[in-house]
Copies of this chain bind each other. A is one copy, B any other.
Amino acid sequence: MSKFTFDIKAVDGAARTGTLHTPRGDIRTPAFMPVGTAATVKAMTMDMVRSAGSDIILGNTYHLMLRPGAERMQRLGGLHKFSTWDGPILTDSGGFQVFSLAALAKKSEDGVAFQSHIDGSRHMLTPERSVEIQADLLGADISMQFDECTPFPATHEEAKTSMELSLRWGARSKAAFGKREDQALFGIVQGSVFEDLREQSAKALIDIGFDGYAVGGLAVGEGFEAMVHTLDFTVPLLPPARPRYLMGVGRPIDIIAAVARGIDMFDCVMPTRSGRHGQAWSDAGPVNLKKACFAEDMEPLDAASDCPASRDYSRAYLHHLVRSNEYLGAILLSWHNIAYYQGLMARIRAAIAAGTLDDLHREIAK
């Protein structure tokens, strides 16, 4: 019996809030997973990540298999011990980065051969190898099936071919993963913006049987309207009792729109990347602290926050740090942004429980 039980405590329209239980701790949903690409959430200590309200982080298989290396990670005791993050970790399959970052990626039915963008070394990712790296070598709590993230735009024919390959890779991922109590495997629905393809993908994945279902192939340039339209017909295809994960999304307005359509989990580099570029997130969107108007602004980013980065430093100081290209600017703004995102998720969870998600949605979208 899988220990990844999912308790939905309240619903508000299609939105749900609850808890995904894992052997390494509970994940409050809807959940935002900070991205810890290379075994670190950039410019933050794990204490900062945790104290900002994060229950789970994401690791990138592609980066970790190249450096420090998959077998080395196992010898070092796995990703949790290595990074000192003792909560749940979800890893992606490497399928996205191998096409976006690697050199000379060559796809076949078997998988993808490629060269490292770091040192040019040759590697091969297959469904079996991806699952081995994620579940056995890194020790991920939640592994993702190996898939191809269909590029956008794609013709119906291209999207169909790509989706069907991902389905075959999904079946092989599941066969390689087998049955596990302490680890979970999620399938990934593909099919671009085509309803019939999303339906075929979802049905076939459900037949295979996964612990959770991700919606892939979005946040790849299709735009907000196409994304929510695709969610409108895709999410209802997924089993209500299992967690649903929208990969690589997004801005607060994207997240709340997806929550309203029944999504439970998110990941995105935006809050940490913005933080390294001098931007502080707020309900009004990202604020560029480099702007001269902040040079003598003695107010903190958020006086009511529990996060020291949001509460204890003036905007004038953050402005100075960003202008001076100081590490501490990236540290504090990444920390603030993750705390803002986790605070938003907490407000979303509370709004669903109170039946007021629409009100919050209007507030964030205004």
Residues of A within 8 A of B (CB): 38-40, 42-45, 47, 67-68, 72, 75-77, 82-84, 276, 295-296, 298, 308, 312-314, 316-317, 320-321, 323-324, 326-328, 330-332
Contacts and interface: CB of A to CB of B under 8 A. Distances in A.
Given A45-B328, A312-B84, A314-B82, A72 B40 contact: no
A84 B326 contact: no
Given A312-B84, A313-B84, A326 B76 contact: no
A327 B68 contact: no
A364 to B, nearest CB: 29
B328 A40 contact: yes
A76 B324 contact: no
Q: How many copies does the complex hold?
A: 2
Given A38-B324, A39-B320, A45-B328, 4 more contacts: A38-B326, A44-B327, A45-B331, A47-B308
B295 A68 contact: yes
A42 to B, nearest CB: 6
A276 B332 CA distance: 18
B320 A38 contact: yes
A297 to B, nearest CB: 9
Given A83-B317, A324-B67, A72 B42 contact: no
Given A327-B327, A327-B330, A328-B45, A76 B314 contact: yes
B331 A327 contact: yes
22 contacts: A38-B326, A39-B321, A40-B321, A40-B326, A40-B327, A43-B331, A44-B328, A45-B308, A68-B316, A68-B320, A72-B296, A75-B296, A76-B298, A76-B314, A77-B298, A82-B316, A82-B317, A82-B320, A84-B312, A84-B317, A327-B330, A331-B331
Contacts of A76: 296, 298, 314, 316-317
Contacts of A308: 45, 47
Given A72-B296, A295-B72, A326 B82 contact: no
Given A45-B331, A314-B76, A323 B82 contact: no
Contacts of A326: 38, 40, 42
A99 to B, nearest CB: 21
Nearest to A321: B40
The winner among A295, A321, A327 for most chain B CB atoms within 10 A is: A327
Contacts of A39: 317, 320-321
Contacts of A330: 327
B328 A43 contact: yes
Contacts of A331: 43, 45, 327, 331
A319 to B, nearest CB: 8
